[in-house]
Structure 1
């Protein structure tokens, strides 16, 4: 697969830019604001400045994984790719919906339902990516870990603020 041609490199950059831009745009449109600052949070809540770099890194890994799925040759990859793209699309919808639900609607409860679904779909997507190209699946493991943490954090914030 390596080295990467100029066209492949441009496609990689495009995947990463599109995925990072989609994630960043939701964050810009629905910032935490005063409501979030006023919520009770657990002592293990990460500092606000950490979320941007973490999500940017995770979105870069997601873009690289999607690029690997797209470019993997062979009949086996062709057979697995539709399921991988379906899982990717559902994961993207759920992922991008969390921020407007939590910060826009100020609803930790709705966001918790969303992130619970997101976790399951993310695991499914990771497995489907891995069936096309193992490295594409492995690259999603940090996102599974972070979303697992975020799910517990979201649930805790919901519970201590009800």
Structure 2
């Protein structure tokens, strides 16, 4: 029986990407849709989501070990970590949008695959899927509003 600590550390490492690659002046200067969430919402929502993500991964590991659900969990955490680097670090909104597609698909796959293993773990990913959906729409909108500039 493995403790939750490895999952917490993996999630912390992924979350660190957002701390390293911050929005900054470049992002502040971009045109954004009127429905963009306020700045304070991002760290609040992500903190809650990261707790849920760590628990969900650990729960599936405890009940099924290496499994297709855990593979989907691993893919989503890698895609999650890559997004801030692509969007804010590289300033490649197009590549970040592709990354969000991979993230969305892997989160959805985790929900489907984990459902029979741990319904609670799957349910914990539903708010994550909703937030990633909104983030994808925001990424797309910012890309469209700032094309060519």
Q: Do the structures match in fold with TM over 0.5? A: yes
Say whether the 8 Å CA contact 1:127–1:137 is kept in structure 2.
yes
What secondary structure, in the 3-state scheme, does the structure 2 residue paired with 1:132 have? coil
Q: What whole-Å deviation, never above 9, does each CA across 1:81-137 have from its counterpart, x for those lacking one? A: 421121111111111111000000111111111101211111001211222111110
Say whether the 8 Å CA contact 2:104–2:133 is kept in structure 1.
yes
What corresponds to 1:89 in structure 2?
A: 74
Tell me if 1:119 matches 2:104. Answer: yes
What corresponds to 2:130 in structure 1?
A: 145
What secondary structure, in the 3-state scheme, does the structure 2 residue paired with 1:131 have? coil
Q: Which residues in structure 2 correspond to 1:89-108 (within 5 Å)? A: 89-108=74-93
Aligned match of 1:35 in 23, 26, 41? 26
What corresponds to 1:62 in structure 2?
A: 53
| Residue 23 of structure 1: how far off its partner (Å) | 3.1
Q: What whole-Å deviation, never above 9, does each CA across 1:55-77 have from its counterpart, x for those lacking one? A: 110010011111211222xxxx4
Hey, which bits of structure 1, 4+ residues long, moved more than 2 A?
Answer: none
List runs of 5+ in structure 2 lacking aligned partners. Answer: none
Q: Which residues in structure 2 correspond to 1:11-30 (within 5 Å)? A: 11-12=3-4, 14-15=5-6, 17-30=8-21
| Residue 19 of structure 1: how far off its partner (Å) | 4.2
Say whether the 8 Å CA contact 1:16–1:59 is kept in structure 2.
no
RMSD after superposition = 1.7
List runs of 5+ in structure 1 lacking aligned partners. Answer: 1-6
Aligned match of 1:44 in 23, 28, 35? 35
Q: Distance in 1 between matches of 2:73 and 2:101?
A: 16
- After TM superposition, the score normalised by the length of structure 2 is 0.91
- After TM superposition, the score normalised by the length of structure 1 is 0.84
Instruction: Find the structure with the greater CA-based Rg.
Output: 1
More helix, by proportion: 1
Q: Distance in 2 between matches of 1:54 and 1:15?
A: 22
